[in-house]
């Protein structure tokens, strides 16, 4: 299954590298270093589903034998639990049986981390290098072997070269890459009940000689589906490789679908395999050609079809895909490339990917080796959620020459990226009459998927979209019509490097202002019956200033206005004008009251503008006055005829509701007629 999905390559010599943390992923606590020189700690690693327990294989550690054969000890395994204060070893070291056994080359944990399977492919109990596997349970007293050794079938079988324990701990798959059942070094795989160490079904043998069938194995969580790598199968060329999937039913193993073949000669497709919990998705490493790559396949309607594109290594010789590990669902995959030179020659690196939108996207940046020669990425394991990855650098020198080390990371940041929209010309909500404005989109963390199509604009169009960096993008915005322009980036339009979808941006607003200020006169144009002592106001819909951008003040406002009678070319009427502090209302106070029934004209020229340099059009209003305090005509006396030289007397009478004094006055329009009122008598 996903707990141990790593493969071994025999070298006559090794270049050993270390590890350098050059990116944003978070290392969990400190390095777990090998205990002594040439332990090669971290060749193989495993992790529990919840990511709190890890197993580390140290294939050449001295162990209890305290002796090495050809510089190889018996090997040992150490198990650690996560705590906030550091990695705490769980139980004692688990040592190999004999010198040179390479105990710990493969390790595999059950989902809950309480059962452990360890291979020692050089063990000689049955025959020289027949190999064996041991299964342990963790109890209060420590790690205890639960059944007899599971020995290889024959000499040089290398049984235990690959091991995979079902998630529920019930079954264990064991690869013996040099078994001769199907031909010389054809290889085979056996599956056992983990609690009794009794075989489940018959041997699964390689198809032809030198196929190395069983180089890698991975079993589903319930132990019913098994993936087997045969990297030296020659179907599509010498050592192109093949992967087989089997299902256990009715007491036997049957192949599921056709074999999955490597693409070209030398691919060594199948050096690493990882199957998901359900057994319907498999990741296959092919590190042999070029940089190496990993391909993922989905089982559907009786066939294994590729899911997404190949995940390729960075450079030739990276050995990318030598180790691979799925999470529970097979949505995340961790991949090691121990030959990568990102830090230095053969420093190695690891990467994590997530399947989204039909392809595999990197989660975070590379996990690069510390120094040249570490072979970082030789061992790799991913927890159930894809949140935590364990990476081994077996040739790291921190604990001694080639002591090796292991680092644990939480590469999967679940924080959704945010995005802020700004403009060079002003803040959110500003207005201007610019032909275009310069926008900047600043993202809280790196992304490679933000594109122009992710931006929504109303009443405008974008151009010159440019990536400045992985967190900063720019564009030009051109308005279509005058009025409000909005810019949005809605949620779930782009991904950060950890494949988290973004949170929606706060909408950015800009008012494209191409309209001059509007004016309202009071009195309105055409008004009649306006009081003689009226104050005139000009109210603008926005603040105004002089066309030279200077502020309009009480001292300067008079020069902007004209007040005349009866028309614009008529007689000037003296006045004093003021402007309010908001620069939106001009008040005109005539020096004297207007005359009765006088026509007044007031105007302002193209002499003021708004803050965006929109100049007003000339505007004017005229109105007619009246004396609003004149006594009303209550009664008109009809023409009277009288004889010459005879006086005529008229008696005037009136009453007031408020009992105020009423006064009468009389005038005559004829020069030879006199008129007077005495005691309400008109003579």
Per residue in 47-95, pLDDT (tens digit) is 999 999 999 999 776 554 444 444 457 899 999 999 988 899 999 999 9
Element (H, E) at 96: none
pLDDT digits 0-9 by tens, 292-322: 999 999 999 999 999 999 999 999 999 999 9
* pLDDT at site 16: 28
The CA-based dihedral angle spanning residues 628, 629, 632, 638, taken in that order and rounded to the nearest 10 degrees: -100
Enter the DSSP assignment of 574.
Answer: -
Q: Mapping DSSP to helix (H, G, I), strand (E, B) and coil, where does residue 158 land?
A: coil
Look at 22 and 187; give whichever has higher pLDDT.
187
Rounded to 5 degrees, φ, ψ at 558 are -55, -40
* pLDDT at site 148: 95
Average pLDDT over residues 29-56: 94
Q: Which residues pair with 179 in a beta bridge?
A: none
Enter the DSSP assignment of 557.
Answer: H
Q: Give the strand pairing for 159-165 and 150-151.
A: unpaired
* pLDDT at site 32: 95
Average pLDDT over residues 18-43: 73
For the residues of 295-330, what is the DSSP string, one character each? EEEEEETTEEEE-S--EE-SSTT--EEEEEEE-SSS
* pLDDT at site 551: 95
Enter the DSSP assignment of 357.
Answer: T
Domains 26-410 and 519-626 share a fold: no
pLDDT digits 0-9 by tens, 439-450: 999 999 999 899
Look at 676 and 320; give whichever has higher pLDDT.
320
Q: Please state, for a pLDDT cut of 70, what percent of the chain lies above it.
A: 86
pTM of the model as a whole: 0.65
* pLDDT at site 1: 41
Q: pLDDT confidence of 356, banded at 50, 70, 90?
A: confident
Within 8 A by CB and 6+ apart from 106, the residues are 4, 6, 44, 57, 117, 118, 119, 121, 160, 161, 162, 163
658 pLDDT more than 80 = no
Distance CA 305, CA 298 (A): 5
- At the second CATH level, the architecture of 26-410 is 7 Propeller (2.130)
Domain boundaries, the chain: 26-410, 419-512, 519-626
- At the second CATH level, the architecture of 419-512 is Sandwich (2.60)
Which of 133, 41, 21 is closest to 89 using CA atoms? Answer: 41
Q: Please state, for a pLDDT cut of 90, what percent of the chain lies above it.
A: 78
Query: Residues in the chain, how many?
Result: 683
Which of 606, 592, 602, 520 is closest to 567 using CA atoms? Answer: 602
Distance CA 530, CA 536 (A): 11
4 pLDDT more than 90 = no
CATH 3.40.50.300, domain 519-626, yes or no: no
């Amino acid at each position: 299954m996903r707990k141990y999905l790593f493969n071994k390559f025999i070298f006559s010599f090794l270049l050993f590298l270390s590890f350098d943390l050059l990116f944003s992923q978070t290392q969990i606590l400190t390095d777990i270093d090998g205990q002594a020189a040439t332990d090669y700690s971290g060749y193989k690693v495993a992790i529990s589903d919840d990511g709190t327990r890890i197993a580390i294989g140290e294939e050449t550690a001295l162990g209890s034998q305290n002796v090495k054969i050809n510089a190889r000890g018996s090997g040992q395994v150490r198990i650690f639990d996560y705590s906030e204060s550091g990695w705490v070893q769980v139980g004692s070291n688990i040592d190999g049986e004999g010198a040179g056994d390479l105990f710990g080359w493969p390790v595999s944990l059950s989902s809950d981390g309480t059962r452990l399977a360890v291979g020692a492919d050089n063990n000689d109990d049955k025959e020289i290098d027949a190999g064996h596997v041991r299964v342990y349970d963790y109890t209060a007293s420590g790690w205890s072997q639960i059944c007899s050794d599971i020995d290889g079938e024959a000499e040089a079988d290398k049984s235990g070269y690959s091991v995979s324990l079902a998630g529920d701990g019930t079954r264990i798959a064991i690869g013996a890459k040099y078994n001769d059942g199907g031909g010389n070094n054809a290889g085979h795989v056996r599956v056992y009940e983990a609690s009794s160490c009794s075989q489940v079904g018959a041997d699964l043998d390689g198809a032809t000689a030198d196929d190395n069938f069983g180089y890698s194995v991975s079993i589903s969580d319930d132990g019913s589906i098994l993936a087997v790598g045969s990297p030296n199968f020659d179907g599509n060329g010498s050592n192109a490789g093949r992967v087989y999937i089997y299902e256990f039913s009715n007491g036997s193993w049957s192949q599921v679908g056709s074999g999955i073949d490597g693409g070209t000669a030398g691919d060594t497709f199948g050096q690493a395999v990882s199957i998901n919990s359900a057994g319907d998705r498999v990741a296959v490493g092919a590190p042999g050609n070029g940089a190496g790559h990993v391909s993922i396949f989905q089982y559907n309607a009786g066939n294994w079809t590729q899911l997404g594109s190949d995940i390729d290594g960075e450079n030739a010789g990276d050995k990318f895909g030598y180790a691979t590990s799925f999470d529970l669902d097979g949505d995340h995959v961790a991949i090691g490339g121990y030959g990568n030179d990102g830090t230095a020659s053969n420093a190695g690196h690891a990467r994590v990917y997530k399947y989204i939108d039909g392809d595999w996207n990197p989660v975070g940046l590379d996990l690069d080796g510390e120094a040249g020669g570490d072979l970082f990425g030789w061992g790799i394991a991913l927890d159930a959620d894809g949140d935590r990855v364990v990476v081994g650098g077996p040739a790291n020198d921190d604990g001694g020459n080639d002591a090796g080390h292991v680092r644990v990371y939480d590469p999967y940041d679940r924080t959704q990226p945010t995005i802020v929209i700004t403009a060079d010309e002003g803040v959110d909500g500003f207005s201007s009459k610019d032909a275009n404005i310069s926008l900047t989109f600043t993202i809280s963390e790196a992304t490679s998927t933000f594109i122009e199509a992710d931006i929504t604009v109303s009443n405008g169009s974008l151009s010159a979209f440019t990536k400045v960096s992985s967190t900063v993008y720019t564009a030009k915005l051109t308005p279509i019509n005058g009025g409000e322009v909005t810019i949005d980036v809605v949620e779930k339009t782009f991904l950060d490097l950890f494949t988290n979808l973004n949170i929606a941006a706060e909408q950015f607003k800009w008012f494209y202002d191409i309209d001059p200020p509007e004016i309202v006169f009071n009195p309105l144009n055409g008004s009649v019956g306006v009081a003689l002592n009226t104050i005139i106001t000009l109210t603008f819909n926005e603040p105004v200033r002089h066309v030279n951008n200077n502020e309009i003040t009480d001292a300067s406002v008079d020069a902007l206005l004209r007040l005349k009678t009866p028309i614009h070319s008529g007689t000037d009427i003296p006045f004093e004008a003021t402007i309010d502090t908001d620069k939106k209302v001009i008040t005109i106070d005539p020096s004297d009251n207007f005359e009765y029934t006088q026509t007044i004209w007031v105007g302002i020229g193209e002499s003021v503008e708004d803050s965006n340099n929109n100049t007003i059009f000339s505007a004017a209003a005229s109105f007619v006055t009246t004396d609003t305090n004149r006594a009303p005509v209550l009664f008109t006396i009809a023409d009277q005829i009288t004889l010459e030289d005879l006086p005529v007397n008229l008696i005037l009478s009136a009453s007031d509701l408020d009992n105020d004094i009423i006064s009468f006055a009389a005038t005559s329009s004829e020069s030879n007629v006199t008129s007077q009122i005495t005691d309400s008598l008109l003579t």
